[in-house]
């Protein structure tokens, strides 16, 4: 049977189904971007602090997962993903991509599959069902919270008429806000443990145990950088 799934403009109710053939081709030569929540999940998985994780397993100031010399993801092993339970959102969504606009409206698109990919598409489910199968809910919520944080920081930049050309990436943007002379912080926003320790010292707040609460405190801490 010919499968004719829509390729773009998909929403959670759109017909979509995918079964991975576990050939591991898609875990090579990819740029896997990370947000602070994903780093915190992966660092817990590896039993290290987010600071240690960033040093050891990432590039681009902590925003991208490191690759091995042969192009394979640093966590790809002979049996597959070595951090499967805590893998980042893009790995969960593949072969879907998710897009969220300024108003928070989400849509999904179907990416071109890798050459040699052994996965198969079907029409027995929906995008929503696929997200559930992939355990994506916590990651989607975190992605949206950090995106909202970014929007609020961009507003600060706009209000203060900071030079837009300097702020080409999310990281640059947050750093620009954090490192203003009046901000007095010299922190990478991506490093949750370090930001929380700094916030706790300054405010006297106790750092919570649960990742959900840590994430919310982290967002609050970064927001204070812009005050
Ligand atoms: S984290 Fe796991 S699923 Fe994602 S690219 Fe690396 S090995 Fe593949
Ligand atoms: S390339 Fe396709 S079949 Fe192979 S692991 Fe990735 S999603 Fe699964």
The strand ranges marked E within the chain are 15-19, 58-59, 64-65, 76-77, 80-81, 96-100, 106-110, 120-126
- The pLDDT of residue 3: 55
**Atom 7, ligand 2: residue with shortest CA distance:** 20
pLDDT of residue 179: 61
- 213 and 102 fall within a common domain: no
Residue with the larger pLDDT of the pair 227 and 64: 64
Any ligand 2 atom below 6 A from CB of 125: no
Q: Are residues 19 and 127 in the same domain?
A: yes
CA dist 175 and 185 (Å) reads 9
Domain co-membership, 213 together with 145? yes
Per-residue pLDDT tens over the stretch 129-176: 999 999 999 999 999 999 998 888 777 766 766 555 555 555 566 666
Residue 91, pLDDT score = 96
Q: So what's the pLDDT on residue 224?
A: 82
User: Is 60 inside any structural domain?
Assistant: no
Verify that 110 and 183 share a domain, yes or no. no
Q: Which ligand is nearest to the CA of 139?
A: 1
Regarding pTM above 0.85, the answer is yes
Domain that holds residue 83: 15-30+67-135
Is residue 84 included in any domain, yes or no?
Answer: yes
Q: Which helix (H) or strand (E) holds 6?
A: none
| Ligand 1 centroid – CA 3 distance (Å) | 27
Dump pLDDT digits (tens) for 41-70: 999 999 999 999 999 999 988 889 999 999
């Amino acid at each position: 049977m010919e499968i004719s799934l829509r390729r773009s403009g998909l929403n959670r109710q759109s017909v979509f189904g995918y079964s991975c053939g576990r050939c591991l081709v898609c875990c090579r030569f990819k740029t896997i971007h990370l947000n602070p929540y994903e780093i915190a999940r992966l660092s817990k998985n590896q039993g290290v602090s987010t600071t240690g994780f960033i040093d050891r397993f990432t590039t681009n100031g902590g925003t991208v997962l490191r690759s091995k010399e042969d192009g394979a993801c640093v966590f790809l092993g002979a049996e597959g993903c070595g951090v499967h339970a805590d893998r980042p959102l893009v790995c969960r969504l593949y072969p879907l991509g998710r897009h969220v606009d300024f108003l928070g409206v989400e849509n999904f698109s179907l990416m071109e599959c890798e050459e040699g990919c052994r996965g198969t598409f079907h029409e027995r489910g929906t995008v929503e069902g696929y997200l559930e199968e992939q355990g994506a809910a916590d990651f989607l919520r975190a992605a949206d919270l950090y995106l909202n944080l970014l929007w609020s920081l961009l507003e600060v930049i706009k209000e203060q008429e900071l030079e837009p050309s300097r702020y080409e990436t999310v990281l640059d943007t947050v750093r620009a806000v954090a490192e203003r002379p009046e901000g007095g912080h010299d922190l990478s926003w991506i490093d949750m443990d370090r930001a929380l320790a700094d916030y706790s010292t300054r405010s006297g707040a106790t750092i919570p145990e649960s990742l959900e609460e840590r994430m919310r405190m982290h967002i609050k801490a970064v927001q204070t950088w812009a005050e």
